[in-house]
Every structure is written in C-alpha cells, then in structure tokens.
Amino acid sequence: MSVIYIMVPLAFVLAGGAVWAFIRAASGGQYDDLDTPAVRMLLDEEPASRTAPQQIRR
C-alpha cells in the first residue's frame, strides 16, 4: 500500500512532462505541415540513372 504514495505522484509527473512536451512541440511548429513530407519523395528531381551515361566503355 505504501508504494501507491510513490507511484501516483510519479504518474502525475510523467503525465505532466508528456503534456509539456506536446505543448512545446505544437507551439514550435512541429505539426504545422503534415502533408508535404509524405509527398516530397514523389516530387523529387530526375532519378540518377537518367543523368548517368548509358554504357561504360571498357
């Protein structure tokens, strides 16, 4: 029963830390643009194989 006196405040401290980290990330712009990173690989430049020479002479 005495362990509850340690675990309950520890749970509040951990939950408060998680809320603080979320608020800090949200106010810092972490979640501003959720779509562009997923599409960025589709909008990339030409593949390297098109710019490389077709055959290597020996």
Q: Could you read off the pLDDT of 29-51 as tens digits, one per residue?
A: 888 887 787 787 777 666 556 55
Residue 41: both structure tokens together: 């690989």
pLDDT confidence of residue 52: 54
Length of the chain: 58
Q: What is the pLDDT of residue 6?
A: 95
Residues 6+ apart with CB under 8 A from 52: none
Does the pLDDT at position 53 exceed 70?
no
Residue 4 pLDDT class (50, 70, 90 cuts) = very high
Angle at Cα 36 formed by Cα 35 and Cα 40, nearest 5°?
Answer: 130
pTM over 0.75: no
23: pLDDT confidence band, cut at 50, 70 and 90? very high
